[in-house]
Amino acid sequence: MFDLALVHAGELVTCAGGSGTAEEGLGIVEDGALLVSGGRIVWTGTTRQLRQKSTGKVERTVDARGHLVTPGLVDPHTHAIFAGSREDELERKASGESYISILAGGGGILRTVRETRASTTTELVGASRARLDQLMMNGVTTMEVKTGYGLDLAGESHILAAIRRLKEESAVELIPTFLGLHAKPPGFRDVGGYVDFVTRKVLPAVARRRDRPVFSDSFCEEGVFTASECSRYLRASKDLGFRLKIHADEFAESGGAALAAEVGCVSADHLGRSSATGIGAMAKKGVTAVLLPGTSLYSSIPYADARGIMAAGCRVALGTDLSPNSWVESPQFVMSLACTGMKMTPAQALLGFTKHAAEAVARDDLGALAIGTQADFVVHRVPSYRFLPYRVGGSYVNAVFKRGKQIYGSGEN
Ligand SMILES: [Zn+2]
């Protein structure tokens, strides 16, 4: 007795292939099929093999009618929980202002902090829910969500309360991250004093919450927080049982990649300017690189050296970095930038939003369709995975399944 069978996937991309090339890693099954029981994948193979199997009763059979089927996409880096917007910053950046100068003038993150602090939980949940829904319609079944627009205990608790509600209400699975060091709020004269406040007061209080986040994260960047400030904060986070992430070297080489290796981060993200030594250290320690080309585009800064990072031996994941700075809700668009701007192959880009993204959030039950993984998958109205980064700007997702249940799309597939 099975809950669901899917048949006739033109390409069933399992992302559970061998460890050779990215293309081999995709583990493609033509005319593929899968079986789901108890929200998990219990079998994959060809439709013909399934026909020869005695399955007994199957609750529901989905005919993918030759379409592409992939694992549910995992977005490993978002700041999707915020109030307000910053559409004027596009004009300011077009007239020559930089992300860092806008932030230094009280705009950027600090503006979002004011707007998020001023929102009610219902307003924050409503605004964020619309973005979660949009990602889901684009095939995302799991996403990491960061706090970081509160900057004090009350503000961060407000965001964590919204995340708790969204976890109950949204079909997209959320993996929360406490972003303790995002920006120094006004009211603290020096950065060191703020790092001290967050590390000694806010972080332990967040760690005691019943809904404590899985990860702790910090923004290691010239003009924001130094590597030694992030090191202190991340080590304290580790002592309290958090897994670690870091925003590293986005605009300038700030020692972030090396620090990620030193303190044992699960992922280091951005990496636009990281040194070869830093990347080498990450590869040695198995830190996953999360690249965010949509943000590079918005800030008009160079893309990360994806090929160099892969050649050094790091796994590369991709994320939208959905935030009020770079309001990107389309993984397909990010895959396209990864292929056009960073010269990743379509296979590497898809692994970036599936298997490697799951590694970036430390979840081996996601990002692949193999026995025992969560039955999260997407039916795309295109014949091959190569169309995902190629055909950008439309909506080609036919149906989205989470733990074997359809959460988006028509009943017909
Ligand atoms: Zn970020």
User: Along the 413 residues of the chain, how does pLDDT read in single tens digits?
Assistant: 899 999 999 999 999 998 889 999 999 999 999 999 999 999 999 999 999 988 789 999 999 999 999 999 999 999 999 999 999 998 998 999 988 889 888 889 999 999 999 999 999 999 999 999 999 999 999 999 999 999 999 999 999 999 999 999 999 999 999 999 999 998 899 999 999 999 999 999 999 999 999 999 999 999 899 999 999 999 999 999 999 999 999 999 999 999 999 999 999 999 999 999 999 999 999 999 999 999 999 888 999 999 999 999 999 999 999 999 999 999 999 999 999 999 999 999 999 999 999 999 999 999 999 999 999 999 999 999 999 999 988 889 999 999 999 999 976 55
* Cα–ligand 1 centroid distance for 394 (angstroms): 25
* Cα–ligand 1 centroid distance for 370 (angstroms): 30
* Cα–ligand 1 centroid distance for 218 (angstroms): 9
* Cα–ligand 1 centroid distance for 268 (angstroms): 10
Has this prediction a pTM greater than 0.85?
Answer: yes
Contacts of 15 (CB under 8 A, 6+ apart): 25, 26, 27, 70, 71, 350, 351, 354, 355, 367, 368, 369
Beta strands in 306-395 (DSSP E): 316-318, 377-380
| C-alpha to C-alpha distance for 219 and 240, rounded to whole angstroms | 19
**Burial (CB count within 10 angstroms: exposed 0-12, middle 13-18, buried 19+), residue 393:** exposed
| C-alpha to C-alpha distance for 240 and 202, rounded to whole angstroms | 12
CATH fold of 73-360:
TIM Barrel (3.20.20)
The number of angstroms, rounded, from the C-alpha of 273 to the middle of its chain's C-alpha atoms is 20
Q: How do the domains of the chain map onto residue ranges?
A: 2-71+368-409, 73-360
| C-alpha to C-alpha distance for 235 and 230, rounded to whole angstroms | 8
CB 157 within 8 A of CB 170: no
Whole-number pLDDT of residue 410: 77
User: How many Cα neighbours within 13 Å face the side chain of 269?
Assistant: 32
Could you tell me the end-to-end alpha-carbon distance of the chain, in angstroms, rounded to an integer? Answer: 22
* Cα–ligand 1 centroid distance for 246 (angstroms): 9
Whole-number pLDDT of residue 280: 98
* Cα–ligand 1 centroid distance for 50 (angstroms): 43
* Cα–ligand 1 centroid distance for 241 (angstroms): 22
* Cα–ligand 1 centroid distance for 297 (angstroms): 14
Whole-number pLDDT of residue 54: 81
Whole-number pLDDT of residue 186: 85
CB 219 within 8 A of CB 180: no
* Cα–ligand 1 centroid distance for 320 (angstroms): 9
* Cα–ligand 1 centroid distance for 16 (angstroms): 28
* Cα–ligand 1 centroid distance for 346 (angstroms): 24
* Cα–ligand 1 centroid distance for 266 (angstroms): 15
CATH of domain 2-71+368-409: 2.30.40.10
Whole-number pLDDT of residue 370: 98
* Cα–ligand 1 centroid distance for 77 (angstroms): 6
Which amino acid makes up residue 354?
T
CB 34 within 8 A of CB 62: no
The number of angstroms, rounded, from the C-alpha of 158 to the middle of its chain's C-alpha atoms is 22
Calculate the alpha carbon distances from 127 to 116, 223, 325 in Å.
11, 30, 16
CB 147 within 8 A of CB 81: yes
CB 401 within 8 A of CB 52: no
* Cα–ligand 1 centroid distance for 341 (angstroms): 19
Helix (H, G, I), strand (E, B) or coil at 282: helix
